[in-house]
Structure 1
């Protein structure tokens, strides 16, 4: 059933004559008559009885009128809601973020986004970088925020921030005054993230590059647990600068400049995907903050 024909029928039924209905629809009366006739032909039913300039709706027409009103109202509601999506007055955005980004970088971004777009409902899924890449590729999140380069070819990448990682020790650790740090690292216990973590990948690469074989490794998995472990002299750790800013201010943790590395933070989503207005606004906010921080 053609929607324009149904709308023409509805307008004639509510106005009571073809001339007035045509004016209200901004079309010619002959065009309107053809639309109504096409609908009657399709349904094989007479919808109006013509009496001069006046039209009287038939029983079939009255029955159709009930459905036509519902359909037209739904069309109006759908258009209104789509415009609200476009204008970001409502909607939903599902984001995936790696642990470091989600816990230490993203909260400020989400606060800014929510302030600008209070009608958007945000769903955040957290995992390590490899897990978030998989979610983005499979479409279980609209966009993913990951640390380090991705090897998944079907994902598009947008660079939105830079990260610096340091070897971190407790405030009273012997390495603070050490002049032969690299030689002593092999005697230390390293507190580590789990496999799949980009932070752990960078540490592994750095140890290989410097030909360092730690005495032991302890996988704690959680960054907060790792920080508490370092503070209590359980070992040393390799951490993003975003994760220990508070402890650095308090003097509880100290970074060692001799052991550091850089990496990008990336926004990823499937190549060819058309991002929603909510996701585009989020991407623009990330880029704006990246320019402000690095400009």
Structure 2
């Protein structure tokens, strides 16, 4: 790996030549020489220096993005070569959308640990758009999402079908109570934040059925939405995975209206590439078998 790239990345991220030198176990003059030589090779100034700080200029920001990508690809190549000679093991960066991450992923991780104790999973939880973006940035190796995420570099594959129901408080509704679309308009709807796969499904349901709620409340987690529904704050549309316990305790009830329940896919997203680490392969197998 070109040392100039490594030095440049450290300086760009730490915004300080001295701290970059400490991180790389080099002297500060050596760092300066590397940066000067790199700028000469590129043919343009990349870093603006002041007495107090180091900042990337526009060219520097572009070079930084490419440098990070090159280093990640290099590390990925080394990992694949090493992987060919050993049993599945090492780090695996997994991203999951909230519903999957909170209600399904723990069971998958338990299975992974049981079968492959040498694999060390690192977990990122976010909404569907967050997970897709992190995969594109190579911050994770694989994503498990609700619904779809389309990009020319990303391969998407469904691994399970999720069922979503309209739910309300057991103190205000009876189980399977039929409710018309007109009545739904007069209800307070509790929905997830922008970028959420659950929110996307709810918005599609409302649009398709021409339902225009008079009041909408946005909350940032499924757990908070469930608590809001329980307390009578409003109604919502959630995966049955998320409210099964509350259903059994008679705190929440399913509501019935035309167009529900709604089915959607749970999907695996990953980079579309020929060579895949064994850790990635075996985790995918566990996901598919479990589903």
Change in 2 beyond 3 A, CA 1:237/1:180: closer
Matched with 1:144 is 143
Q: 1:157 to 1:180 in 2, by over 3 A?
A: closer
Q: Which residue of 1 aligns with 2:8?
A: none
Task: Detail structure 1 runs of 4+ shifted over 6 Å in the superposition.
Answer: none
Deviation at residue 159 of structure 1 after TM alignment: 1.4
* 1:86 partnered with 2:105: no
Matches within 5 A, 1:243-254: 243-254=242-253
Distance 1:256 1:204, change over 3 A: same
1:207: Cα distance to partner?
A: 0.5
Contact 1:144 1:267 in 2 (8 A): yes
Q: In the aligned structure 1, how far is the partner of 2:152 from the partner of 2:82?
A: 32
Per the alignment, residue 107 of structure 1 pairs with 106
1:7-59 Cα shifts (integer Å, max 9, x gaps)? xxxxxxxxxxxxxxxxxxxxxxxxxxxxxxxxxxxxxxxxxxxxxxxxxxxxx
Paired residue secondary structure (1:242): helix
- Residue 269 of structure 1 corresponds to which residue in structure 2? 270
Q: Normalised by the size of structure 1, how large is the TM-score?
A: 0.67
Uncovered stretches (5+) of structure 2, i.e. residues with no partner: 1-77
1:214-241 alpha-carbon deviations (Å, 9 max, x no partner) = 1111111111111001000000111011
Corresponding residue number in structure 2 for 1:158: 157
* Separation (CA, whole Å) in 2 of partners of 1:205 and 1:188: 17
Give the Cα separation in 2 of the matches to 1:93 and 1:222.
Answer: 25
Q: Contact (CA 8 Å) 2:176, 2:253: kept in 1 or not? A: no
1:136 Cα deviation after fit = 1.1
| Whole-angstrom distance in 2 between the partners of 1:286 and 1:262 | 19
Instruction: Note if contact 1:175-1:181 (Cα within 8 Å) is conserved in structure 2.
Output: no
Alignment-derived partner of residue 22 in structure 1: none
Which residue in the other structure is 1:217 paired with? Answer: 216
Superposed displacement of residue 175, structure 1: 6.4
Tell me, what secondary structure is at the counterpart of 2:241? coil
Q: Deviations over 1:167-214 (max 9, x none)?
A: 111112246575542220010111110000010011011001111111
The SS at the match of 1:280 is helix
Give TM-score scaled by structure 2 length. Answer: 0.68
User: Unpaired runs of 5+ in structure 1?
Assistant: 1-77, 291-295
Q: Could you tell me how far apart the structure 2 residues matched to 1:189 and 1:121 are?
A: 43
What root-mean-square deviation, in Å, do the aligned CA atoms of Structure 1 and Structure 2 show?
2.1
**Is residue 197 of structure 1 aligned with residue 196 of structure 2?**
yes
1:46-195 → structure 2 map (5 Å cutoff): 82=82, 86-88=86-88, 90-174=89-173, 176=175, 179-195=178-194
Q: Deviations over 1:76-134 (max 9, x none)?
A: xx9xx94697312x311000100110001111111011111111111000110011011
Over 3 Å counting, the alpha-carbon distance change for 1:241 and 1:273 in structure 2 is farther
Relative to 1, partners in 2 of residues 1:211 and 1:240: Cα closer, same or farther, differing over 3 Å? same
Aligned residues: 211
